[in-house]
Structure 1
Amino acid sequence: MNKVLYESLMLKQIDLMKHKMIKLAKSTSINSPETLKCSQELDTLLNLHMKHFPNNNKLNNVS
């Protein structure tokens, strides 16, 4: 898999996880175990992105 495609897929996963976390926070509360678990998963994805693409600012464009 080329690097551009890999980053695109990773950014899509980050975006999906962010929306999932927002939805969970609205339905279960920001401190619920489900929301916190989702937040940790999002952190993991963000850390992976920063590790593999340290010089890219594309995360600023994720909605």
Structure 2
Amino acid sequence: MTCSLELLLLKLIDQTKKKMVELAYNTGINSQETIACSQELDVLLNLHMKVSAHKERTKLSSASCNIKI
């Protein structure tokens, strides 16, 4: 589940980056449209970081449970 969510987020991030570059080119870097798209990209990037961090924590937690003393 996390893997497919992560892949979906990466695809959305890539699409949003391309959209932002196009908006900046067509409407200017300081236009409302470009800024709104940049903020949308920020949300997606933050969400991706949270998903990745959760995935790492889960991986580490599983690994520590398998250690035998």
Global fold match (TM > 0.5): yes
Gaps of 5+ in 2: 57-69
> Which structure 1 residue ranges, 4+ long, deviate > 4 Å from structure 2?
none
1:11-47 residue CA offsets vs partner (Å, 9 max, x unmatched): 0000000000000000000000000000000000000
What secondary structure sits across from 1:30 in the alignment?
Answer: coil
1:1-63 to structure 2, matched below 5 A, reads 2-54=1-53, 55=56
Q: TM-score, normalised by structure 2?
A: 0.75
Q: Which has the higher helix share?
A: 2
Q: Distance in 1 between matches of 2:3 and 2:47?
A: 15
* Percent identity of paired positions between Structure 1 and Structure 2: 56
Q: Which amino acid aligns with 1:22?
A: V
Q: TM-score, normalised by structure 1?
A: 0.81
